[in-house]
Amino acid sequence: MLNVMRKHGFTLAEILVALAIVALLTAVVIPTIGGRLRQSQASAIADELTNLTTGVTAYRQNVLKYPNKLDLLTNTPVAGTSLDICGVAIVAANVNKWQGPYLARPITTGTDFPIGDATVNDQLVRNPSGVQAGVGTLQIKIDLVDTVAAVALEAQFDGNADFTTGSILWNRTNPGVGTLTYSIPIRGC
């Protein structure tokens, strides 16, 4: 009996078919995962904006002033040192009415905080600024928001595709990312 030895292996055609299948799966899966990650980024930012709005509203109801920094939602203001949104020191009588924290997430004094790849600025802005201003907006700025998340947030909050008006403003600062400004209507300081 003749013993013939055969080598086992893959042919070039089999290898090329396997590579084609892997490339096809990669082309389908990667964009799907990337899209879901960007959508989850938009959802996380939307949830955070809702929580911050609720926190700012509760702070205003208790302290009778709007905070000038988000850290005042989780850290007791200091009478004579902490400022309201118009730059006026908060008096002891108002500080004593603080019933926070108004957020579940702690915010370190004077630091911005991340939401995924984006960063929420601790400093709030009043538009128009100043003590004499009556009706205006309290603005929360978020850096490094990508285009897909900004479009999703614009659709959710304003229902249009206009980044120049409404509660969501977005200004591209680098290719694919920009600064998002969320405006909360307010009256007074």
- The predicted structure's pLDDT at residue 20: 79
Q: With contact defined as beta carbons under 8 Å apart, do 59 and 76 qualify?
A: no
Does a structural domain hold residue 1? no
Does a structural domain hold residue 3? no
Q: Which amino acid is at 187?
A: R
Q: How does pLDDT run across 123-167, given as a tens digit for each residue?
A: 999 988 765 657 889 999 999 998 888 989 999 898 887 888 889
Does a structural domain hold residue 5? no
CA 69 to chain centre: 16
Which secondary-structure segment (H or E) carries 187?
A: strand 177-187
Q: Looking at the 3D structure of the chain, how many domains does it have? A: 1
- The predicted structure's pLDDT at residue 130: 61
Q: How does pLDDT run across 76-115, given as a tens digit for each residue?
A: 999 999 999 988 999 999 999 999 899 988 888 778 888 8
- The predicted structure's pLDDT at residue 42: 86
Question: Cα-atom radius of gyration of the chain, to the nearest Å?
Answer: 26
Q: Which residue range forms the structural domain that includes residue 67?
A: 14-187
Does a structural domain hold residue 106? yes
